[in-house]
């Protein structure tokens, strides 16, 4: 198990004048699973390759358990990367692919055979050692690539978009497998994704990146409950944003003034701000009088287990979600009481 620290990492490619990754610092705790999340081109894979030693940073340090690993070549660093396109050797059997890393180290053939069997059993493919990669499905190839990485007992496991090439049902299976193996082996793991749901389901911590910069590094719950900015909130499905002014424990808007309970990590200073609240945290036709305003239903979308409403509040439109199990039908054109619980309002800088 290995702690990884990225200390003010920057990468400027030759001939470029804009950093692909800039001033990137974070700590990946021993044995944890961390996601690098963000849109295409934000620097996620570049950062992953710098950890692996496949790309050298322009400036900064990378530490494994306090040791600067930048002078150590990729093949001796102990960070193994599973690429998005698997990169299995088509002319080798599955068993030879999985055991390739040990063969390069000069490990005894009998030991390699035993370890290959263990790894294929670990990824739930115990009987395919003699097949060729071309005889496997995409999901099976992904598992073989994972087994090939794990057989070398890496200090750090790096996964580049591990689920992107799989069908929906295979993504669920592979996600569960990755999570199970990571927990069993307690190997420090970093994976790249552009899918916030995938990051939330897998990761202990998420590093949200935009334009080569680290915007927020937090647990999945914090991104939903305490986003650092409107941009972070929108990336995690936030849709309700109302211009406001914060005045101590009050947030003042043109639809009304609301009490809110400032939480640890709350960042908006007094003055211009944006009030946000997630759709599922708004209560409709609640009897509460405080923090409530009247609105009119403009659109109703039935989704089975819940109904999504678009509600006009003065010049603004917000969205709310209501469980299908709650009594009392609400239809388009109805006037409703819209309640914003004080402990669910979050205020971010304007």
Q: Which of 197, 225, 253 is the last residue of a domain?
A: 225
Strand bridging mode 4-11 / 21-28 = antiparallel
Verify that 247 and 129 share a domain, yes or no: no
What's residue 268's pLDDT?
Answer: 64
Verify that 219 and 325 share a domain, yes or no: no
230 located within any domain:
no
Verify that 333 and 244 share a domain, yes or no: yes
Verify that 14 and 71 share a domain, yes or no: yes
pTM for this predicted structure: 0.90
Instruction: Dig out the tokens for 5 from the structure.
Output: 């620290």
- Tell me the backbone φ, ψ of residue 48, rounded to 5 degrees: -60, -45
Q: How large is the C-alpha radius of gyration of the chain? A: 25
Verify that 83 and 142 share a domain, yes or no: yes
Verify that 26 and 134 share a domain, yes or no: yes
114 located within any domain:
yes
118 located within any domain:
yes
If DSSP states are collapsed to H, E and C, what string results for 89-117? CCCCCHHHHHHHHHHHCCCCHHHHHHHHH
Verify that 201 and 321 share a domain, yes or no: no
Q: Which of 190, 225, 260 is the last residue of a domain?
A: 225
Verify that 182 and 35 share a domain, yes or no: yes
- The crossing angle, in degrees rounded to 10, of helices 109-122 and 138-150 is 130
Contacts 24+ apart (CB under 8 A), 333-337: 333/296, 333/297, 334/296, 334/297, 335/294, 335/295, 335/296, 335/297, 336/284, 336/285, 336/294, 336/295, 336/296, 336/297, 336/311, 337/284, 337/285, 337/286, 337/287, 337/292, 337/293, 337/294
232 located within any domain:
no
Contacts of 176 (CB under 8 A, 6+ apart): none
Cβ atoms of residues 208 and 194 within 8 Å: no
231 located within any domain:
no
What's residue 264's pLDDT?
Answer: 58
Q: What is the CATH number of the domain that holds 159?
A: 3.40.50.300
What's residue 263's pLDDT?
Answer: 66
State the total domains in the chain. 2
Instruction: For residue 317, give the 3-state DSSP assignment.
Output: strand
Verify that 221 and 255 share a domain, yes or no: no
> pLDDT tens digits, the chain, 350 residues: what are they?
899 999 999 999 988 788 999 999 999 999 999 999 999 999 999 999 999 999 999 999 999 999 999 999 999 999 999 988 888 999 999 999 999 999 989 899 999 999 999 999 999 999 899 999 999 988 899 999 999 999 999 999 999 998 888 888 888 889 999 999 999 999 999 999 999 999 999 999 999 999 999 999 999 999 998 899 999 999 999 999 999 998 878 899 999 999 988 665 566 667 889 999 999 999 999 887 889 999 999 999 999 899 999 999 999 999 999 987 777 789 999 999 999 999 999 998 88
Verify that 250 and 214 share a domain, yes or no: no
- According to DSSP, residue 302 is labeled E
Contacts of 269 (CB under 8 A, 6+ apart): 246, 349
Cβ atoms of residues 278 and 240 within 8 Å: yes
Half-sphere exposure (Cβ direction) of 45: Cα atoms closer than 13 Å: 11
Contacts of 114 (CB under 8 A, 6+ apart): none
Verify that 40 and 187 share a domain, yes or no: yes
What's residue 85's pLDDT?
Answer: 84
- Separation CA 297–CA 287 (nearest Å): 18
Verify that 183 and 90 share a domain, yes or no: yes
145 located within any domain:
yes
- Separation CA 79–CA 299 (nearest Å): 51
Burial (0-12, 13-18, 19+ Cβ within 10 Å), 119: buried
Q: What is the CATH number of the domain that holds 307?
A: 2.40.50.100
Q: Which domain holds residue 308?
A: 238-349
- Separation CA 336–CA 316 (nearest Å): 15
Half-sphere exposure (Cβ direction) of 49: Cα atoms closer than 13 Å: 15
233 located within any domain:
no
What's residue 266's pLDDT?
Answer: 61
- Separation CA 22–CA 42 (nearest Å): 10
What's residue 16's pLDDT?
Answer: 78
Q: Which of 200, 225, 250 is the last residue of a domain?
A: 225
13 located within any domain:
yes
């Amino acid at each position: 198990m290995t702690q990884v620290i990225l200390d003010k990492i920057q990468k400027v490619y030759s001939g470029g004048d804009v950093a692909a990754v800039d001033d990137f610092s974070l700590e990946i705790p021993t044995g944890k699973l961390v996601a690098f999340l963000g849109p295409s081109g934000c620097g996620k894979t570049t950062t992953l390759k710098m950890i692996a030693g496949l790309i050298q940073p322009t400036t900064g340090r990378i530490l494994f358990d306090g040791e600067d690993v930048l002078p150590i070549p990729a093949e001796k660093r102990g960070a193994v990367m599973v690429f998005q396109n698997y990169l299995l050797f088509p002319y080798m059997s599955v068993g030879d692919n999985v055991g390739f890393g040990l063969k390069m180290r000069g490990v005894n053939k009998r030991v390699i055979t035993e370890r290959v069997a263990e790894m294929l059993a670990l990824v739930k493919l115990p009987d395919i050692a003699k097949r060729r990669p071309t005889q496997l499905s995409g999901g099976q190839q992904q598992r073989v690539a994972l087994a090939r990485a794990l057989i070398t007992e890496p200090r750090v496991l790096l996964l580049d978009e591990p689920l992107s090439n799989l069908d929906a049902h295979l993504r669920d299976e592979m996600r569960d497998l990755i999570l199970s193996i990571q927990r069993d082996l307690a190997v420090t793991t970093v994976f790249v994704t552009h899918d916030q749901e995938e990051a939330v389901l897998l990761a202990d911590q998420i590093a949200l990146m935009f334009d080569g910069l680290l915007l927020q590094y937090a647990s999945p719950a914090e991104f939903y409950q305490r986003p650092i900015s409107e941009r972070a909130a929108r990336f995690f499905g936030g849709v309700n944003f109302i211009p406001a002014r914060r005045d101590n424990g009050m947030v003042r808007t043109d639809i009304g003034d609301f009490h809110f309970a400032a939480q640890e990590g709350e960042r908006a200073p007094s003055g211009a701000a944006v009030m946000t609240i997630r759709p599922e945290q708004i209560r409709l036709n609640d009897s509460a009088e405080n923090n409530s305003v009247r609105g009119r239903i403009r659109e109703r979308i039935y989704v089975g287990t819940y109904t999504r409403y678009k509600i006009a509040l003065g010049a603004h439109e917000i969205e709310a979600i209501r469980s299908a199990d709650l009594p009392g039908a609400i239809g388009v054109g109805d006037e409703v009481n819209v309640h914003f619980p004080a402990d669910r309002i979050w205020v971010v800088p304007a």
